Amino acid sequence: MELFMRLLLMVLTIFHSTKSLKGDGSLVYDYYKETCPMAEDIVRHNVKAEVYRDPRLAASLLRLHFHDCFVMGCDASVLLDSVEGMTSEKLAIPNMNSLRGFELIDKIKYLLEQECPLTVSCADILALVARDAVVSRGGPTWMVLLGRKDSVESSINGANQFIPAPNSSLETLIDKFKTQGLDIYDLVALSGSHTIGRARCTSFRQRIYETKPEYHYGYDRYRRYTTFRRILRSICPVTGRDQKHAPLDFETPTKFDNHYYVNILEGNGLLGSDNVLISQDHEGVITEQVWAYASNQKLFFDSFAKSMIKMGNINVLTGNEGQIRRHCRFVNT
């Protein structure tokens, strides 16, 4: 019976994910086939070269796309610098001194403007870069729907409000994803992006020192893994070293795989928002999905790709909406 339920979950997950493959009808494949046929090659080549030089950058580029789409939609608002009358999302609490990769986006945009001026949007660059960053670390590929336009405004308030915190409860995570039109299947699949990258001490210090009763399940479960806990405490003492980092996945920190799900099943997830997927899952639906991904990397890769396509469709600007910026940091004058 248990095996049957897991197989059923896999089928339902795949069926659910495939419903979003065609997006909302506004974005299409091969959008630049006629207007800028080298666009995807230019993006792919530069991402591959930079990630080879700095493997950690792959996670940063993927994170840029997430943090863009969760604020006003996938419109490249996260790339805008502050100007008079508008404060950059880069200064929001989840982003400040944390987001990376802006220089590579600038470089790619410059090359694309040389190849085909005012044609490829910064929002589409972010979507392509996220896909190519995942592929560069051994993860799945997918056909990126294209045709987004760029926002002419940013929202620091939106960034502070809608981007999930690293210590979010499961209920909060579900609500924040639901606000973006994403469900629990997307939540679990997209959380797998934490199979690569690193996090600052400020993001997980509460996780390794919290002893309050309301955290007793996660704390007691976590406390048994004394070696892992001791390593993290040596990196991040109770105070100080806020900018020190630890890998989100200690086993394969630069490889995009399904080991993230193995980690949280063992209580070895780095962030509180990772471990709540099973520690606060009272109905067990999410836990079953975590088990399925931990047991079947192909299933995880398929689900992740489909949820990334779905996320990339959030509140996109198309047609006469927005603009194609000449420079991703500034609105066209």
pLDDT value of position 212: 53
- Is a pLDDT exceeding 90 seen at residue 323? yes
Q: Is 88 known as a binding-site position?
A: no
pLDDT value of position 64: 98
- Is a pLDDT exceeding 70 seen at residue 31? yes
- Is a pLDDT exceeding 70 seen at residue 218? no
**Contact at 8 Å (CB) between 275 and 222?**
yes
pLDDT value of position 161: 97
Closest CA to 221 of 274, 263, 266, 282: 266
pLDDT value of position 12: 41
- Is a pLDDT exceeding 70 seen at residue 55? yes
Map out the domains of the chain with their CATH numbers: 18-164 (1.10.520.10), 184-306 (1.10.420.10)
Question: In whole angstroms, what is the distance from residue 46 CA to residue 108 CA?
Answer: 7
Active-site annotation, residues: 67
Q: Is 81 known as a binding-site position?
A: no
pLDDT value of position 192: 98
pLDDT value of position 205: 82
pLDDT value of position 299: 98
pLDDT value of position 211: 60
Name the percent of the chain lying above pLDDT 70: 87
Q: Is 77 known as a binding-site position?
A: yes
Q: Is 218 known as a binding-site position?
A: no
Q: Is 41 known as a binding-site position?
A: no
Cα of 271 vs its chain's centroid, Å: 14
pLDDT category of residue 171 using cuts at 50, 70 and 90: very high
pLDDT value of position 316: 97
pLDDT value of position 197: 94
What pLDDT digit, counting tens, does each position of 255-298 carry?
999 999 999 998 888 998 999 999 898 889 999 999 999 999 99
Q: CA 275 → CA 24, 174, 185, 189, 251, distances in Å? A: 33, 14, 16, 14, 17
Report for 14-28, 239-253, 307-321: range of highest mean pLDDT: 307-321
The b/e string for 105-115 (b: 16+ C-beta within 10 A; e otherwise) is: beebbebbbee
Label each residue of 58-108 as H, E or C.
HHHHHHHHHHHHCCCCCCCHHHCCCECCECCHHHCCCCCCCCCCHHHHHHH
Question: In whole angstroms, what is the distance from residue 129 CA to residue 132 CA?
Answer: 5
pLDDT value of position 226: 62
pLDDT value of position 241: 72
Q: What is the mean pLDDT of residues 163-186?
A: 96
Strand 245-247, strand 198-200: pairing: antiparallel
pLDDT value of position 10: 47
- Is a pLDDT exceeding 70 seen at residue 150? yes
What pLDDT digit, counting tens, does each position of 66-114 carry?
999 999 999 999 999 999 999 999 999 999 989 999 999 999 999 999 9
pLDDT value of position 100: 95
**Radius of gyration (Cα) for the chain, nearest Å?**
20
- Is a pLDDT exceeding 50 seen at residue 23? no
- Name the least confident of 140-144, 200-204, 224-228, 280-284: 224-228
- Is a pLDDT exceeding 60 seen at residue 214? no
pLDDT category of residue 24 using cuts at 50, 70 and 90: very low
- Is a pLDDT exceeding 70 seen at residue 178? yes
- Is a pLDDT exceeding 80 seen at residue 209? no
Q: Is 249 known as a binding-site position?
A: yes
Please indicate, yes or no, whether the overall pTM of this predicted structure exceeds 0.75. yes
Q: Is 164 known as a binding-site position?
A: yes
Average model confidence (pLDDT) for the chain? 88
Q: Is 194 known as a binding-site position?
A: yes
